[in-house]
Chains A and B, each alone.
Chain A
Amino acid sequence: MADERVVVDPITRIEGHLRIEAEVKDKTIQKAYSSGTAVRGIELIVRDRDPRDLWAYTQRICGVCTSVHALASVRAVEDALGIRIPHNAHLIRAIMDATVIIHDHVVHFYHLHSMDWVDVLAAADADPNEAARIAQSYSRWPKSTAGYFKDVQDKIKKLVESGQLGIFATGYWGHPAYKLPPEVNLIMVAHYLEALDWQKEIVRIHTIFGGRNPHPNYVVGGVPWPIDPNMDNALNTSRLTEVDRQIDMALEFVDQVYLPDVLTLAKYYRDWTFGGGLKNYLAYGDFSPTSIYDVDSYRFPRGAVLDFNLNEVHDVDPRDLAQVQEFVDHSWYTYDGKPGGIGKHPWEGETTIAYEGPKTFETLNVEGKYSWVKSPRWMEKPMEVGPLARLIVGYAKKNDRIREAVDRSLREIGVDITWMHSAIGRTLGRAIDASLIAHFAREDMDQLFANIRSGNLATFDNSQWDPKTWPKEAKGVGWAEVPRGALGHWVIVKDGKVERFQAVVPTTWNASPRDHNNNIGAYEASLIGAPLEDPVRPVEILRIVHSFDPCMACAVHLTDLADQRQYEVFLDM
């Protein structure tokens, strides 16, 4: 039987615009192609701007993982200018990063991903008493009563009867890939609704520290709002106790609802081990209790693991020109006027737009360029980044907390660490990640209180705010571990302005097309060998691709700066 080309575009329940094409034979995916179909050009837009403003522009790379690009950018500019922020500012930024990671993971699981595993309409057939019994058997969450589940079930039934299904209208309900009993479907739907209410709470941490969410404010040199327990309009006790309350609520929700739900789901789908992919994992590491420059203290360690070899962790250096490089052989860009063949480190990066596709198309020309996403590689190897990568690197580094958290979950499911190399393992990894990070935030908040108690109120370093204090030219890199993995911003500051900026973003790693050596990217690798029962109801493709939590606005940041003169002339015409 000839291969059939299956196209899924748009991929929904993600951020942005992603297209997947797959070659299918005998209901099995043989090859897959991942294409980002939108471009904006933010790297070009930030050129010549004030470096202190950079965070505001780059934050708009993404409103889902809002704030993480602001964090990477202020770190990059501070690195370039040699600014060391006060400890309190470091802690506040870490709590803000934890906030977006926890929020993002919960919203991803319930609102973007769960419908790949959960048959929403099948919840109508559940026995609410049995649902309550099951829910109480795996979590002490106090809402799990029969009456509660009955209310949710009634809500779903009425929605169906109204004839206006709204967001549930286009689901693949009844697809044979769904394996949960009706009662577990009902529990998951109930928590979909509960998470929808809860997610608007945790972000209030950003509202305190950054004035709002999405897109809270940052400042180069520290954080904007001064701490003073005795002032009415400052980070005073009433503000800090709201943050404190939200962290406790997040711990409860993650440890009593999110993680137990995912563990339950994983038991039912334990044998659906498709979606593994590359087996290469990269983490820059983050979450130091002290400073981003104290790499050894990271609660998520730095490193690279190749071919799932947990006995060896390779050192990673974002400043090494030979390590992180981006290739454009199959992306709609050129390098030095050529279609590809070489990689460029972000400090030497280039992004010259070269769209060569037709205006409309049925299928992509995958022999040529086929995506707006570049191909980042580490030592010329394709890598997976994300929560699973963080855990694998930490596990291989024998980090006690990570090993304990991962092993406990694996024991409960009855599998070993290699099982994590799968779509369901990636999804479980994200929940473990959220739990660890919620505990990090608790510790950082306690430390912040301790600092204030000891009289340390500093939140901002003013010494290099004035551009007159800056070197004529400087380069910096800011890294962070963010919801979807390792994020890096590289900046060159010259004559007080942004001369060059490049972001290499988690989804760029994962969604990348093939590179100069025809190495496929993480999404493409993960789909190979997966079943596809029904090409127009591609639950399996969605399940695997969603396990990475795609963020396409992040992946396609775009265009360059330094070498775009010719293009600008064109624009001016």
Chain B
Amino acid sequence: MATAVKRKTIYEEQREQGVTRREFLKVATAITMALGLKLKMVPTVVHAMETRPRLPVIWMDFQSCSGPTESFIRSYQPNMQKVLFDMIALEYNGALMAGSGTAAEEHILKIMNEYPGEYILAAEGSLPLLPGALTIAGRPAEETFREVAAKAKAVVAMGSCATWGGIPAAKPNPTLAKAVTDFVPPGVPFIRIPGCPPIGEVMTNTLAHIVIFGTLPEVDELARPKAYYRHRLHDKCQRRPFFDAGLYAETFNDEGARQGYCLYKLGCRGPTTYNACAELRWNGGLSWPIQSGHPCIGCAAPNFWDEAPFYARVVQLPGTQTTINPERVGAVMTGAVAAGIAVHAAATVITKGRITKKKTDVKAQEDIEIGQ
């Protein structure tokens, strides 16, 4: 069996590439800031980069649209050259790896044997239970996933299909699709990075956290990194003051839309969606869906595909109330749309330490309105 070769640390590699100590420290400082850490953490980051080789990553795609891979390569900070050549060793990825067929199959086994318990398995797409619905190299994908996951340091589920089942699992779930996290062997930790797709920087910096600190990031009750999924979009939204003031866009080209008023009446799922869009924004912090005039469709939320129609204002807001509690609105929306999927509401309840659900908040289905 092959044994692990002596691997160089990130620092050693950078030095050999002609990077000076001074430049190296600058990079370490930038990464520290990108991770949202205080400056006093710079020495920790420097130490990590001096002592750790590139993290081996096997990235498998299943019932996926490749949206997570595409979003991953859009990451600004760290950018892809940094990620691929300084931070991780992307040993397997259907979109980027050079070899196919036999070469690819043999290489995945080689990495599993060389780095048992050291590599990260990133997975995108759901796994179907319908026979034949997904084979790779003539085998059910689910079998391969279990084998590769069993020897991983951790599984990182990239995107809403891998984390919750996503669109393949939406009604009527024709291929009996499930989240990959349902197939992770006992004892192997996993992280969920939901979003359809997730923000590129959320994926790269989750890996950066593992590389630099050698630990998995802190996660919430649903295994999502707290650094990116701690708050609802509504809590950070630039249109929030208009919500509080009761000022809404009623359609896509009215005065309210031009003024940048709240999109709640157009169906916005910001009040029930936990994600980093309002904080990090997209594609280098340029904009995000709500800023660019479209209501959030809740793509990081469990089961969001079956909480449509997306333009339906699900809750009747009290017309003059300007300080409505968004938590209450969230509970109502979740309950009204799919009582069985009250995951968000449940998460809210746990977070707040409350133990009873307010069933009186649940509105009947007929209260659903189509946005004008």
Q: Specify whether A and B are partners.
A: yes
Residues of A within 8 A of B (CB): 7-17, 19, 37-42, 44-45, 49-50, 52-53, 56-57, 60-64, 66, 111-112, 115, 120, 151, 154-155, 158-159, 161-172, 193, 196-197, 199-200, 203-204, 206-215, 217, 219, 221-226, 228, 231-234, 242, 332, 353, 355, 357, 359-363, 458-460, 462, 465-467, 536-538, 542, 553, 558-559, 564, 567-568, 571
CB pairs A–B below 8 angstroms (25 shown): A10-B137, A12-B104, A15-B65, A38-B62, A42-B167, A53-B311, A56-B310, A64-B65, A64-B70, A112-B95, A155-B17, A158-B16, A162-B53, A163-B7, A167-B90, A170-B104, A171-B98, A172-B103, A204-B286, A211-B289, A217-B294, A225-B293, A332-B132, A462-B253, A536-B103
Residues of B close to A465: CB separation below 8 A: 251, 372
Tell me how far the C-beta of B282 lies from the nearest C-beta in chain A, rounded to whole angstroms: 4
Closest A residue by C-beta to B106:
A170
Render B65-76 as a binary contact track against A, CB cut-off 8 A, 1 for contact: 111111101111
Given known pairs A155-B85, A172-B99, the reply for A66 and B70 (CB within 8 Å) is yes
A-B contact sample (9 more), CB < 8 A, given A10-B137, A41-B175: A15-B66, A56-B310, A159-B85, A167-B98, A170-B99, A217-B289, A222-B253, A353-B174, A459-B252
- A214 near B80 with CB under 8 A, answer no
Closest A residue by C-beta to B103:
A170
Residues of A close to B311: CB separation below 8 A: 50, 52-53
Residues of A close to B176: CB separation below 8 A: 571
B5 interface neighbour in A163, A219, A224, A537, Cβ under 8 Å: A163
CA A209 to CA B294, docked complex, whole Å:
10
Residues of A close to B271: CB separation below 8 A: none
Closest A residue by C-beta to B283:
A207
Residues of A close to B197: CB separation below 8 A: 63, 214-215
Residues of A close to B175: CB separation below 8 A: 39-41
Residues of A close to B290: CB separation below 8 A: 211
Given known pairs A53-B309, A64-B65, A169-B107, the reply for A226 and B293 (CB within 8 Å) is yes
Tell me how far the C-beta of B341 lies from the nearest C-beta in chain A, rounded to whole angstroms: 16
CA A45 to CA B305, docked complex, whole Å:
9
Count how many pairs of residues, one from A and one from B, have CB atoms less than 8 Å apart in the complex. 346
CA A559 to CA B171, docked complex, whole Å:
12
- B66 near A16 with CB under 8 A, answer yes
Tell me how far the C-beta of A175 lies from the nearest C-beta in chain B, rounded to whole angstroms: 11
Top 6 nearest A-B pairs by Cβ distance? A63-B67, A170-B99, A233-B260, A41-B174, A225-B293, A211-B289
CB-contacts of B120-141 with A (<8 A): 128, 130-141
- A538 near B65 with CB under 8 A, answer no
Closest A residue by C-beta to B4:
A163
B98 interface neighbour in A168, A210, A567, Cβ under 8 Å: A168
- B286 near A231 with CB under 8 A, answer no
Given known pairs A40-B174, A162-B7, A226-B257, the reply for A466 and B305 (CB within 8 Å) is no
Residues of B close to A217: CB separation below 8 A: 289, 292, 294, 297
CA A214 to CA B53, docked complex, whole Å:
31
Closest A residue by C-beta to B173:
A571
Residue in A207, A222, A467 with the greatest tally of chain B CB atoms within 10 Å? A207
Given known pairs A197-B81, A200-B79, the reply for A60 and B67 (CB within 8 Å) is yes
CA A16 to CA B62, docked complex, whole Å:
8
Residues of B close to A353: CB separation below 8 A: 130, 174
Residues of A close to B34: CB separation below 8 A: none
CA A207 to CA B283, docked complex, whole Å:
7
CB-contacts of B37-61 with A (<8 A): 53-54, 56, 61
- B7 near A60 with CB under 8 A, answer no
CA A8 to CA B105, docked complex, whole Å:
10
- A207 near B286 with CB under 8 A, answer yes
Residues of B close to A221: CB separation below 8 A: 252
Residues of B close to A214: CB separation below 8 A: 67, 70-71, 74, 197
- B196 near A215 with CB under 8 A, answer yes
Residues of B close to A224: CB separation below 8 A: 252, 292-294
Chain B interface, number of residues (Cβ within 8 angstroms): 108
- A559 near B174 with CB under 8 A, answer yes
Closest A residue by C-beta to B100:
A12
- A154 near B18 with CB under 8 A, answer yes
CA A225 to CA B263, docked complex, whole Å:
11
Residues of A close to B139: CB separation below 8 A: 360
Residue in A155, A210, A233 with the greatest tally of chain B CB atoms within 10 Å? A233
Tell me how far the C-beta of A481 lies from the nearest C-beta in chain B, rounded to whole angstroms: 20
- A115 near B98 with CB under 8 A, answer yes
B8 in the interface, Cβ–Cβ < 8 Å? Answer: yes
Render B137-156 as a binary contact track against A, CB cut-off 8 A, 1 for contact: 11111000000000000000
Given known pairs A115-B98, A164-B7, A212-B282, the reply for A45 and B171 (CB within 8 Å) is yes
- A359 near B132 with CB under 8 A, answer yes
Closest A residue by C-beta to B285:
A207
Tell me how far the C-beta of A360 lies from the nearest C-beta in chain B, rounded to whole angstroms: 5
- B292 near A196 with CB under 8 A, answer no
Render B99-113 as a binary contact track against A, CB cut-off 8 A, 1 for contact: 111111001000000
Tell me how far the C-beta of B14 lies from the nearest C-beta in chain A, rounded to whole angstroms: 9
A568 interface neighbour in B6, B67, B172, B239, Cβ under 8 Å: B172
- A204 near B84 with CB under 8 A, answer no
Given known pairs A162-B8, A164-B54, the reply for A210 and B85 (CB within 8 Å) is no
Closest A residue by C-beta to B252:
A460
- B98 near A169 with CB under 8 A, answer yes
Given known pairs A41-B174, A242-B286, A558-B174, the reply for A62 and B66 (CB within 8 Å) is yes
- B66 near A50 with CB under 8 A, answer no
- B137 near A233 with CB under 8 A, answer no
Closest B residue by C-beta to A222:
B252
B208 in the interface, Cβ–Cβ < 8 Å? Answer: no
- A234 near B260 with CB under 8 A, answer yes
Residues of B close to A115: CB separation below 8 A: 98
- A63 near B65 with CB under 8 A, answer yes
Residues of A close to B305: CB separation below 8 A: 45, 57
Residues of B close to A7: CB separation below 8 A: 101, 138
Residues of A close to B99: CB separation below 8 A: 12, 169-172
- B137 near A200 with CB under 8 A, answer no
- B309 near A208 with CB under 8 A, answer no
CB-contacts of B308-333 with A (<8 A): 308-312
Tell me how far the C-beta of B50 lies from the nearest C-beta in chain A, rounded to whole angstroms: 15
A66 interface neighbour in B5, B67, B283, Cβ under 8 Å: B67
Residues of A close to B16: CB separation below 8 A: 158, 161
Tell me how far the C-beta of B307 lies from the nearest C-beta in chain A, rounded to whole angstroms: 11
CA A208 to CA B293, docked complex, whole Å:
10
Residues of B close to A168: CB separation below 8 A: 98
Closest B residue by C-beta to A468:
B370
B220 in the interface, Cβ–Cβ < 8 Å? Answer: no
Residue in A38, A64, A359 with the greatest tally of chain B CB atoms within 10 Å? A38
- A8 near B101 with CB under 8 A, answer yes
Given known pairs A61-B65, A159-B85, A219-B294, the reply for A12 and B94 (CB within 8 Å) is yes
- B103 near A226 with CB under 8 A, answer no
CA A37 to CA B277, docked complex, whole Å:
34
Residues of A close to B76: CB separation below 8 A: 200
Tell me how far the C-beta of A301 lies from the nearest C-beta in chain B, rounded to whole angstroms: 30
Closest A residue by C-beta to B61:
A16
Residues of B close to A209: CB separation below 8 A: 292
Given known pairs A164-B53, A355-B132, the reply for A45 and B370 (CB within 8 Å) is no
Residue in B73, B94, B305 with the greatest tally of chain A CB atoms within 10 Å? B94
A208 interface neighbour in B8, B56, B251, B286, Cβ under 8 Å: B286
CA A213 to CA B260, docked complex, whole Å:
21
Residues of B close to A45: CB separation below 8 A: 167-168, 170-174, 305
A462 interface neighbour in B79, B81, B251, Cβ under 8 Å: B251
Residues of B close to A62: CB separation below 8 A: 65-66
Residue in A37, A120, A193 with the greatest tally of chain B CB atoms within 10 Å? A37
Given known pairs A45-B305, A158-B13, the reply for A8 and B172 (CB within 8 Å) is no
- A39 near B284 with CB under 8 A, answer no
A362 interface neighbour in B66, B95, B138, Cβ under 8 Å: B138
Render B255-267 as a binary contact track against A, CB cut-off 8 A, 1 for contact: 0011110000000
